[in-house]
């Protein structure tokens, strides 16, 4: 399967964009196609065994059938060519038309022919693009094109002597279209700026010098230098230097993280302090920032049910409204007399003006894409507007335990010294005992506190680890035996101390891991470790309950451990000692019972259940390929609160999309109803067309500026 992208420069009609998409999909051998109106792109995929890549001429022919003025370009040509803007010329055209119209209306006492001439010049100057497009569409048999219908409506108004209104309708239609294009363009630039995190230059280090190259030409193993204030162009490992990096473009998290030699650094991050040399580990096309941007851009292909409904609605809306217009023009004169033909013709023309569904076709996809863009700025990658909309239907949130609700690593929860031993001294001794081990328990003990006690060095006069084979022994399944400063120490399980006949009282804790410590034959205390529940988990579960969502935990851990975590978080249900297949079965059962289930896991071990849930949300390592591939929504930072952000953004997007649907359809229906009874005018129809579209676009852009409020969030 191959994918091809074209830029449709000058694409301003969302309804036409939908028609172009349908036409390309109808080509034999094309498996999928979509037009991203928000970025003026046509993307299609074809099967090489059934279809060759469509030629540029074939694409141009399809596009020009619906949008004759659109210029089709390859992405490379669109990027390299700086086409001069016609915005100044457009403003001058409309301003001149407005002045001519105002002169004809304000200057009294002018000869009638002069007034008509002024109105005619104003009509032609403001409306010639519409007239040209109308004839092109007429030639292409596109009877329901808005330009053709607008031309018919204004010509009809001229035919019944409504010259000023015909000119005003054309003029203000074009002014409305101009401001609508500005609003759509602004939203496009806002989305592009939001995702402008891909550097164009990499400083390649070669022979002691730096050479600027495009990141596409940097190979794996090359060394690049990134200076303070610059964005990292490629994934890699720090070879030289230390720095603080800002990963907010990837995660939405503003707090910098410190990185040193040997640590991984991701493309899209910004180096804050200190230049670093980086050994490249991934090619440009495989880098984190490229994958993220491709994921967000491709999200347009996955349309939401609302978008699909609007596309179908638009397909039938215009023909139905045109038919109603024809009936209003043709039928009433037979009933009320042909002397009223002009009045009914005027009322029918109102329907023609209002017959374009652009307000919906533009604003609804723009609203969803703004929601996806907003989510990405908060470190939440949503693979399609269908998944964004589906978030609003979720009633059950199922969590994996380890690494999701808990930190996924052991941490000290209690230090319990025996009589005559100090807690700090006990912990210090335990650290020295565990200092040579790579076991997770040893790492947890060594990470407690800010410093690790220094290890005794050989030949310094102290009794230390002169001979590790004699002084340090790791006893499999039980713990460690070590000699420190001439004394023998034990640190490990209950079984270890019993084997050495140490007198002590075991701690009954089926949930936690307990390390017992002895000095010689004397028990000196214990250290309790647990996989601690994340602090934010309590607030997240509480917030989900307030949203009336059921919370469930699935884990492969022991029942006692699962029970302790579930009770602490007040979960609605939990299941323990599960295999991945068991988790998949439980989620499927919930779905079969009628629940809409979101599963939150790490994206690596839970791929089957992530795929089987209504929505799969993965949390894990930043930029994890497995996480990005396995789920519908990827949370780029290891914070459960991002789940609330996702629900919050989805709810706001739904709210604004619903507002636009109700507003656009409501105004259009109201103006049409008033028009039937002669209570509306073509001026009002213009507002119901381009005015409503402009307001709907501006409303959709509010999603981009929305800031999730977790504390006061209600769906």
Q: Which residues are catalytic?
A: 400
What is the distance between the alpha carbons of residues 661 and 360, in angstroms, rounded to a whole number? 6
The answer to whether the CB of 481 falls within 8 A of the CB of 436 is no
DSSP 231: B
What is the distance between the alpha carbons of residues 386 and 632, in angstroms, rounded to a whole number? 10
The answer to whether the CB of 453 falls within 8 A of the CB of 432 is yes
Q: Which residues, listed in sequence order, are joined to residue 615 by a DSSP beta bridge?
A: 598
Contacts of residue 609, defined as CB under 8 A and 6 or more positions apart, other chains included, come to 554, 580, 583, 584, 587, 599, 601, 616
CA distances from 317 to 357, 369, 648, 674, 679 (A): 7, 24, 32, 18, 22
Three-state SS across 114-170?
Answer: HHHHHHHHHHHHHHHHHHHHHHHHHHCCCCCCHHHHHHHHHHHHHHCCCHHHHHHHH
Residues in the chain: 715
Q: Which helix (H) or strand (E) holds 368?
A: helix 358-377
Q: Please spell the DSSP secondary structure of 269-289, one letter per residue.
A: -EE-SS-EEEEE-S-GGGSHH
List of long-range contacts for 419-426, beta carbons under 8 Å, 24+ apart: 421/524, 421/525, 423/525, 426/517, 426/524, 426/525, 426/527
What is the distance between the alpha carbons of residues 583 and 601, in angstroms, rounded to a whole number? 11
What is the distance between the alpha carbons of residues 528 and 501, in angstroms, rounded to a whole number? 21
End-to-end CA distance of the chain: 40
The answer to whether the CB of 472 falls within 8 A of the CB of 480 is yes
What is the distance between the alpha carbons of residues 633 and 619, in angstroms, rounded to a whole number? 9
What is the distance between the alpha carbons of residues 9 and 78, in angstroms, rounded to a whole number? 8
Tokens 């599960």, residue located:
578
Strand ordering across the sheet containing 223-226:
209-213, 202-206, 223-226, 276-280, 236-240, 264-265
The answer to whether the CB of 176 falls within 8 A of the CB of 689 is yes
The answer to whether the CB of 304 falls within 8 A of the CB of 653 is no
SS3 256: coil
What is the distance between the alpha carbons of residues 390 and 64, in angstroms, rounded to a whole number? 35
What is the distance between the alpha carbons of residues 562 and 566, in angstroms, rounded to a whole number? 6
Return the closest-CA partner of residue 623 out of 299, 387, 302, 293: 293
The answer to whether the CB of 266 falls within 8 A of the CB of 636 is no
What is the distance between the alpha carbons of residues 131 and 395, in angstroms, rounded to a whole number? 52
């Amino acid at each position: 399967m191959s994918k091809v992208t074209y830029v449709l420069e000058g694409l301003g009609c969302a309804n036409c964009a939908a028609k172009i998409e349908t036409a390309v999909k109808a080509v034999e051998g094309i498996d999928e196609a979509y037009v991203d109106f928000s970025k003026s792109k046509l993307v299609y995929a074809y099967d090489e065994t059934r279809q060759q890549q469509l030629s540029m001429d074939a694409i141009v022919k399809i596009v020009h059938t619906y949008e004759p003025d659109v210029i089709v370009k390859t992405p490379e040509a669109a990027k390299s060519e700086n086409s001069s803007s016609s915005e100044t010329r457009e403003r001058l055209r409309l301003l001149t038309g407005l002045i001519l119209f105002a002169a004809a209306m304000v200057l009294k006492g002018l000869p009638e022919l002069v007034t008509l001439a002024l109105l005619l010049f104003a009509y032609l100057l403001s409306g010639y693009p519409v007239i040209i497009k109308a004839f092109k569409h007429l030639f292409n048999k596109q009877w329901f094109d808005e330009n053709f219908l607008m031309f018919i409506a204004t010509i009809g108004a001229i035919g019944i002597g409504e010259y000023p209104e015909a000119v005003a309708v054309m003029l203000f239609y074009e002014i409305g279209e101009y401001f609508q294009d500005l609003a759509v363009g602004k939203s496009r630039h806002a989305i592009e700026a939001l995702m402008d995190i891909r550097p164009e230059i990499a400083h390649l280090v070669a022979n002691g010098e730096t050479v600027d190259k495009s990141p596409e030409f940097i190979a794996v193993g090359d060394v690049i230098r990134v200076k303070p204030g610059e964005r990292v162009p490629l994934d890699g490992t720090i070879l030289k230097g230390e720095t603080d990096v800002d990963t907010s473009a990837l995660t939405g998290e503003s707090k910098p993280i410190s990185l040193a030699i040997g640590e991984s650094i991701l493309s899209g991050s910004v180096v804050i302090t200190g230049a670093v040399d980086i050994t490249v580990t991934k090619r440009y096309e495989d880098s984190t920032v490229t994958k993220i941007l491709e994921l967000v851009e491709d999200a347009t292909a996955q349309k939401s049910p609302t978008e699909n409904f609007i596309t179908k609605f638009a397909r039938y809306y215009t023909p139905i409204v045109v038919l109603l217009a024809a009936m209003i023009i043709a039928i009433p004169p037979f009933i009320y007399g042909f002397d009223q033909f002009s009045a009914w013709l005027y009322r029918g023309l109102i329907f023609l003006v209002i017959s374009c569904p652009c307000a919906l076709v533009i604003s609804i996809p723009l609203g969803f894409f703004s929601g996806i863009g907003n989510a990405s700025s908060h470190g939440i990658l949503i693979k399609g507007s269908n998944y964004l909309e589906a978030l609003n239907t979720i009633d059950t949130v199922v969590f994996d335990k380890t690494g999701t609700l808990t930190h996924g690593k052991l941490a000290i929860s209690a230090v319990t010294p025996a009589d005559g031993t100090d807690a700090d001294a006990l912990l210090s001794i335990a650290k020295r005992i565990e200092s040579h081990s790579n076991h997770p328990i040893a790492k947890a003990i060594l990470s407690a506190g800010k410093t690790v006690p220094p290890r005794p060095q050989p030949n310094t006069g102290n009794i230390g680890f002169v001979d590790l084979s004699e002084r340090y022994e790791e006893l499999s399944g039980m713990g460690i035996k070590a000699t420190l400063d001439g004394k023998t120490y034990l640190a490990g399980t209950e079984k270890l101390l019993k084997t050495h006949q140490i007198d002590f009282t075991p701690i009954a804790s089926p949930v936690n891991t307990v390390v017992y410590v002895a000095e010689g034959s004397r028990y000196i205390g214990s250290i309790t470790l647990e996989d601690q529940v994340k602090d934010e988990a309590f607030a997240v579960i509480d917030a989900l309950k307030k949203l009336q969502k059921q919370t469930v935990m699935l884990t492969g851990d022991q029942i006692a451990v699962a029970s302790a975590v579930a009770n602490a978080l007040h979960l609605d249900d939990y299941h323990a000692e599960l295999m991945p297949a068991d988790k998949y079965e439980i989620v499927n059962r919930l779905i079969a019972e009628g629940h809409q289930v979101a599963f939150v896991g790490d994206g690596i071990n839970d791929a089957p259940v992530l795929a089987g849930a209504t929505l799969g949300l993965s949390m894990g390592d930043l930029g994890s390929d497995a996480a990005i591939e396995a789920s519908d929504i990827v949370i780029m930072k290891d914070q459960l609160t991002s789940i609330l952000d996702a629900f919050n953004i989805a709810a706001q997007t739904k709210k604004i999309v619903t507002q636009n649907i109700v507003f656009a359809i409501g105004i259009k229906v109201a103006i049409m109803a008033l028009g039937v009874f002669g209570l509306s005018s073509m001026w009002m129809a213009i507002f119901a067309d381009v005015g409503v579209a402009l307001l709907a676009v501006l409303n959709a852009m509010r999603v981009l500026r929305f800031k999730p409020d977790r504390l006061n969030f209600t769906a």
